[in-house]
Amino acid sequence: MTPALPWWSGTVIYQLIVRSYSDGNGDGIGDFKGLAARLPYLRWLGVNTLWLTPIYPSPLRDGGYDITDFTGIHPDLGDLASFHRFLTAAHSQGMRVILDLVLNHTSDLHPWFQRARWAPKGSSERDVYVWSDDPKRYAEAPVLFRHFEASNWEWDPVAEQYYLHRFLRHQPDLNYENPWVQDTMLEVVDFWLDRGVDGFRLDAVPFLFESEGSRCEGLPETHTFLKRLRERVDRHGRDVLLLGEAIQPVQEAAPYLADDELHGAFNFVLTAHLFAAIASGRIQQLGECLMEAEQAVCGPRWALPLRNHDELWLGDGHLISDEVIQTIRVGLPQGQGHWLNWGINRRLAPLLNGDPRSNRLLHGLLYSLPGMPCLYYGDELGMGDWPGLRDRDPNRTPMAWTPARNGGFSTAPDPLLVLPPITAPGYDYRVVNVEVQKQLPGSLLNWHRRMLTCRRLLPALRHGSFRLLHSPHPGVLVYLRCTEAMTVLVAANVTAAGASLSLDLSEWAGERTREVMWGCEFPPAAAEWFVNLPPYGFNWWLIGEVEPAATPA
Ligand code: BGC
């Protein structure tokens, strides 16, 4: 008998920022009360896992990734009781909830850091963070937020030492050499699992340990700690998802997915190649990346994001080649002037110049490739952004619910809003919002819902095997997703021109082929099976007689 699949196998992850999603108490800031009221929408849309960016007390100098208390709720969002009400409601509507957990650092306002800087040098309190008398230590570790920081070290006049911060200077790195740090962070994990959460998105996992002469990423000690974390999670005796954020090449991200380590990891290389494919109209490197990821670990364990709350991270040539970075820079004109740190600071729709065809194509790939597709809130509407806001705030503006004031996000007066709702031309919330798009059968929102429904009815797309087929067209990606009972064929045209091609389906000669979305019949499979795809067009076909609805969910 095949073992039961974990709940997260093939799950669709919806990432949201609670403070930007829905305001339940009218103070201009989204909260758990507001989010709980939106659960029926999320259920209607068809996503099954909610990933909440940090919800903890924080001075919010890095969107909440600067934490002052790992076991509390930021008072803007509610309290533990309102979190609990939300979690119970999400579970009762069939959704799982994973929390962002920042293991690597805290805010400099965290009591641990304040205690550390005043404690004597070499004391156990000081030792909770990473200190040095020499800011040239770990010189090979790149500065990640290069537009904000010139060094990974900051002088602390109270401690009279430098402290390490791989991110912003107000985010000192915890010292994982210190057993107290490890034990305490494991207690944090216990705390949230005891409260019923279903997993964690582990922020910035590669950076937990440092070693001279290396980039200080993914060191063996980091993996040892993550195995300890996994073991601790397993003790809770239920299926929990540990999803790592390691913005690293596939071969370096794969070790996090050892059987006794994390369950899932984001495939950011694939994200970059998806954009590069659109930018260049060619699929060769995308295909190679897919094969590499598939060979490294079995496909369903990769989480597949298009965009998120950060810039579209392309890196310094370590993640993907300079050539691919250049392809994206040149081929996506909307990215040109919006470079932040090592990536492009725009939301999906503006990045694609507002073209719904490429938007659908990229999501069509995401929903049919092996892994856990990640949908960033608002991208289901093609929501825009506000370039010019500070840091990554352009991508974090309030969700557009209705054409009413503030897009239905909040009843508060404008100056109190967490961030300004989008009124940019082409993306104005009076047009681009849930209420309007629900009523338009051809809207992007209704398209997403339909695609997610199809995906639910096709187990092959959720956890079937993956096989790349030979494509006679340089701009058309062709692949199969198969379970024993079902074969789904996918063809996707990444070019801005139409494509016609002939596929060799002799393996299934004479079998019925049906297009999935609208159910239309195609000619039976044959050695020369002709397909026409419009610009940025794609299709999913069922091969054989199996009925989607009749297959086990
Ligand atoms: C998060 C960022 C955050 C950084 C530091 C990340 O990778 O996604 O938003 O600024 O970690 O915590």
Q: What is the pLDDT of residues 129-176, one digit of tens each?
A: 999 999 999 999 999 999 999 999 999 999 999 999 999 999 999 999
CATH 3.20.20.80 residue spans of the chain: 13-104+177-455
- Alpha-helix runs per DSSP H in 338-420: 348-351, 356-366
* CATH H superfamily, domain 13-104+177-455: Glycosidases (3.20.20.80)
Give the pLDDT band (50/70/90) at residue 532. Answer: very high
549: pLDDT strictly greater than 70: no
Contact by Cβ (8 Å): 49, 12: yes
Strand stretches in 67-123, DSSP E: 96-102
Q: What is the mean pLDDT of residues 520-548?
A: 95
What is the reported pLDDT for 552? 41
Nearest alpha carbon to residue 96 among 186, 22, 200, 232: 200
- Tokens of residue 122, six digits: 């070499």
Q: How far is the CA of 288 from the centre of ligand 1 (A)?
A: 28
Nearest to 70, CA basis, from 186, 199, 238, 209? 186
Which residues form the pocket of ligand 1, taking CB atoms under 6 Å from any ligand atom?
62-63, 65, 102, 167, 203-204, 245, 309-310
Mean pLDDT along residues 311-325: 94
What are the two backbone dihedrals, phi and then psi, of residue 340, each rounded to the nearest 5 degrees?
A: -130, 130
Catalytic annotation on 288? no
Confidence band, pLDDT 50/70/90 cuts, at residue 550: very low
Q: Residue of the nearest CA to atom 7 in ligand 1?
A: 204
Give me ligand 1 centre to Cα 204, in Å.
Answer: 7
Residue 337 makes CB contacts below 8 A (sequence gap 6+) with none
Q: Give pTM, 2 decimals.
A: 0.97
DSSP state of 450: H
pLDDT tens-digit map of 336-378:
779 999 899 999 999 999 999 999 999 999 999 999 999 999 9
Query: What is the pLDDT confidence band of residue 1, given thresholds at 50, 70 and 90?
Result: low
Query: How much is the average pLDDT of 515-520?
Result: 90
b/e sequence 457-475, b meaning 16+ C-beta within 10 Å: bbbbbbbbbbebbebebeb
Residue of the nearest CA to atom 1 in ligand 1? 203
Residue corresponding to tokens 């119970």 = 88
Q: Where in the chain is the domain with CATH 2.60.40.1180?
A: 462-543
User: Largest alpha-carbon pair distance within the chain?
Assistant: 79
| Mean of pLDDT values over 225-233 | 98
**pLDDT band with cut points at 50, 70 and 90 for residue 2:** low
Q: At 463, list the tokens.
A: 């956890």
Whether residue 245 lies in the annotated active site: yes
CA distance 447 to 287: 26
Nearest-atom index, ligand 1, CA of 308: 8
Give percent of the chain above pLDDT 70. 99
Closest ligand 1 atom, residue 310 Cα: 9
Q: What is the CATH number of domain 111-164?
A: 3.90.400.10
- Of 310, 376, 390, best ligand 1 pocket probe by most atoms within 8 Å of the beta carbon: 310
Q: Are 427 and 406 in contact (CB under 8 A)?
A: no
pLDDT, tens only, 422-468: 999 999 999 999 999 999 999 999 999 999 999 999 999 999 999 99
User: What is the percentage of the chain residues whose pLDDT exceeds 90?
Assistant: 94
Number of neighbours of residue 11 by Cβ within 10 angstroms: 25
**CATH dotted code for 462-543:** 2.60.40.1180
Q: So what's the pLDDT on residue 551?
A: 45
Give 516: exposed, middle or buried? Use CB within 10 Å, 0-12, 13-18, 19+.
Answer: buried
Please tell me which residue, 547 or 181, carries the higher pLDDT value.
Answer: 181
Q: What's the pLDDT at 519? A: 87
Ligand 1 atom with least separation from CA of 104: 12
Alpha-carbon gap, residue 131 to 539, rounded angstroms: 55
Q: What is the CA radius of gyration of the chain?
A: 23
Q: How big, in percent rounded to 5, are the helix, strand and coil portions of the chain?
A: 35, 20, 50
Distance CA 290, CA 1 (A): 29
CA 169 to the chain's CA centroid: 25
Average pLDDT of the chain is: 96
> Contact 21/34 with Cβ under 8 angstroms?
yes
- Rounded to the nearest whole angstrom, what is the distance from the C-alpha of residue 54 to the centroid of ligand 1? 10
Euclidean distance between CA atoms 112 and 126, whole angstroms: 9
How many whole angstroms separate alpha carbon 276 and alpha carbon 286? 8
Catalytic residue among 23, 156, 173, 203: 203
Question: What separation in Å is there between the alpha carbon of 324 and the centre of ligand 1?
Answer: 23
Report the pLDDT averaged over residues 261-289.
97
pLDDT digits (tens, 9 = 90+) for 239-254: 999 999 999 999 999 9
Q: Would you give the distance in Å from CA 268 to the centre of its chain?
A: 9
pLDDT over 60 (residue 498): yes
* Separation CA 257–CA 8 (nearest Å): 14
The answer to whether residue 213 scores a pLDDT higher than 90 is yes
pLDDT tops 70 at residue 46: yes
With b for 16 or more beta-carbon neighbours within 10 A and e for fewer, the 306-315 pattern comes to: bbbbbbbbbb
pLDDT band at 121; cut points 50, 70, 90: very high
Nearest to 418 by CA among 390, 391, 395, 396: 396
Looking at the chain, the domain(s) classified CATH 3.90.400.10 span 111-164
Cα–Cα distance measured from residue 244 to residue 268, given in angstroms and rounded to the nearest whole number: 11
Q: What residues are paired with 487 via a beta bridge? A: 482, 543
Q: Give the mean pLDDT of 44-60.
A: 98
CA of 169 to the centre of ligand 1 (A): 13
| The pLDDT of residue 548 | 78
